[in-house]
Amino acid sequence: VMEEICFFLGSTARVIEKEESNSSEESGGIAEFLGEIESSCRKMTGSKETYEKIVLHSALVPLCIITKLDLENISNDLDSLDNSTRAQFFPKYCPQLNDALSCIEPVTQELRKCLKPEENKILDIVINMLPDGLNLACKENGQIFFMDDANFNNCSDNFVNYVEKCTDKISNTTEAMELSTLGPKQCDELAQVRECFEQQLVECKAPRLMDIFDLFYRPVMKASPCKNHITLDELPQIESNAI
């Protein structure tokens, strides 16, 4: 079920980013998602009412986005986006994009009724990543997209390698995937993964890439019992850009 959820959210994000989308392709993808979730809704709720609400709300998502986002102009402005125009682009469109995120709330509200507790935790992680990711993208007028620095580019190229190296700190990946059962040992290992990754970025002189890592790390900590083992003050926070 979670694979279909992630696909649906990805499809919604693509609607936000494009002036026009291939409607038949998008409709087919959403139809596939709805077909997969229907049996889960019937099983969890005992009726088809929730599923029908999801269908209705899903159909309204693109219309909602159109009312909140200037699709025509954002498409044109993206074509000319560079260092000289980003100071105008991001303050103009980041609030619109942030507002458009609310369009999926009616869908996710009903969707939660069709998911198991562990699946809802994963959904929470995905949902929480959306505004945090947007906030990071908009921070300092999109500075992260315009980092013309050899160290930053080198670190970016090795980002996946660093993640793979540091996740070796996890002794049992199966246990780590069961968020609701994470204990002090697993939480400590996840904290070690972050420390390892941070050290890698310090060594290659691009510590700001930690913001990308924390997009994943921070929601996992908050959605699991790790929040009881790692104090909130220790949880890294992505700086607000007031969008």
Q: Among 88, 122, 145, give the residue marking a domain's end.
A: 145
Average pLDDT over residues 119-128: 88
Kindly state whether residue 239 falls inside one of the protein's structural domains: no
Burial class (CB in 10 A: 0-12, 13-18, 19+), 65: buried
Q: What is this structure's pTM?
A: 0.72
Q: What is the pLDDT of residues 129-138, one digit of tens each?
A: 899 899 999 9
Spell 154-165 as b/e; 16+ CB within 10 A means b: ebbebbeebeee
Kindly state whether residue 242 falls inside one of the protein's structural domains: no
Rounded CA separation 12/212 (Å) = 21
Residue 56 is part of which domain span? 2-145
Tell me how many domains the chain contains.
2
Q: What is the pLDDT of residues 15-61, one digit of tens each?
A: 444 444 455 555 556 667 677 789 899 999 999 999 999 989 989 99
